[in-house]
Amino acid sequence: MQYEVPVVIGYARRVDGRFLFNLGVQDVIHPEDWKTQEDPLRYITQRYTKGIEDMVRDDPGQYLWSHRRWKTRPKGEVAEAFD
């Protein structure tokens, strides 16, 4: 936000299990999109997260997450066995 540059939500999709990838752009969030928002950081985060969710829904086999994104659970939520 400080530099007012677009945020690009992109992906690299592996082709046929080889070391060959198709690159694509899911969404581009332009500064004029968030400037008028009440909470620009929240707006960008929500739109970025939706872009990732859409990519995963489109081809879940291509998704890899290598760390715990959410380190804490909401108050009152019980941790699952793998946590």
Span 77-82, mean pLDDT? Answer: 69
The predicted structure's pLDDT at residue 73: 75
Flag the least confident range among 39-48, 51-60, 63-72: 63-72
Q: What is the total count of domains within the chain?
A: 1
The predicted structure's pLDDT at residue 43: 95
68, pLDDT greater than 90: no
Q: What is the pLDDT of residues 11-55, one digit of tens each?
A: 998 898 788 999 999 999 999 999 999 999 999 999 999 999 999
Point out which residues pair with 28 in neighbouring strands: 8
How far is residue 5 CA from its own chain's centroid? 17
Distance CA 48, CA 62 (A): 18
Q: Which range of residues forms the domain containing residue 59?
A: 1-83
Q: Which two tokens stand for residue 31?
A: 């500064």
